Structure 1
């Protein structure tokens, strides 16, 4: 049942040379890539990602081979690690190097070594061992179109719906690459036809091969999958995230708590185009310019994955469209869609116009405030002047009354001045007559 396939160094080198692209080649194809339709650029980007992962695993493989070449490479599996014993050239005591089981299994799967993979699985290594990107051996064989490896892994209970860090399942990988036979096997083993990755794509969304796409859609129809169910499934992750965040807000939790990469919920919602989640977070006044460990802000994420509506929402809330990540890139720099790049420039202009208009309104308000204070001062001065005039008049009248002094005549009578008669003189006269 198990057929061993040993890939020699020459074949490995040829495979490596085929996968690697020189920098000059990448630069040369940039013009062509810019002219491709969006779906073709997405396809090319995914293939590039696949190539990069293959190169990384190739380096792991070469390193392991180099270590094995140094001495006797006897393996003893213990728990989740494989320990390789190497004896030094001097013949002294051997040293032990321990490798994670995921590294060993993925290394064997990447070079299509059926015999070693089977041996590792027999010894208890889980078929779902994954690397730091969440990629499993099942993902790998779907990329490589290795039918025998796929059957072997499934026979040992590999999770047919295993997800990597971007929530890609093996069916996503097989559908993207147009590997019809692998797609058939995965679906026969119960692969989720409606699995949604972080970009909101299901396997059929990523399939450009006509025959493979026809088969997937036929299987979806056979299972009663409707457009309503597709739409509901796509939005289920967003609904759950919104529900969780509303609960965090209700209990007074932190809506800006970052994950291990420094990404906040707003980063995640922006990257996935979760409009309702973004709207909720903005209503809760979270920081629109928060940055992760790579200095990416939410607008970087929205621009990178082409979520225009989210970009516009962030821009309206004042997000910095000129923010730069650790590679000195702005959101426009990392956006592959020329239409969205153009819209970003428009949003920058709108933000600047809004800023200038607000500055003008502030100047007008300050001017009006100064005028109001000046008018207030003038009104106060007039009132003070009026009050001062009244006070002076009262004081003047008082002084005139004081000036109307009475005097006593030699005969003892009192006389007032010609301007009037004081009450005291009247009183004196009345007393005299009485």
Structure 2
């Protein structure tokens, strides 16, 4: 009888374990399906039950990155503000969720990510580069307010202003210039922001940068010390 009871007990344990695995598998599938379709209610319910927000999908991509990529903005904002979410994750191109959100101009999401410790000044390409590339002035201004380095250099020395000049918008170029971006920097190919604007055939960006360079030259000229010619001594008689 004791042996039979022991067997029965083990069967119950195995049954409970299998039920737990099935429930976990069901939660996993439900979670990522909800992430993809921006079903924030389901995601929130699973998180409140203890589901790990940092779980990766079958391709190894964290849920936050999936939500930003879709985009599933309501879910992305929920995950970005969830205390247990790791916001500093990277994809195969060394891009963070903050960079992708900045590129797309999702300001509310950008704010939630920064508030949950996303790195504004990550090494290499930065969120400010991506915001400038997308031409999103509100995101640019927010990142600068959060101490983003305005002249951050990519691995090849390209700055946010250069990216704005070639790919962004005139408004983004103007915002960076007014915030103090260095117009004279060169990347490893020897290209300045003006060169980027010319190559990208961005006439408005080119005009803004040329105007900025002219004003810079005028300021430098005014600040140069005045060299007086030596006084002419009257000829001796």
Q: TM-score range by the shorter chain?
A: 0.3 to 0.5
* TM-score (norm. length: structure 1): 0.27
Structure having greater relative contact order (Cα 8 Å, sep ≥ 6):
2
The structure with more strand, counted as a fraction of residues: 1
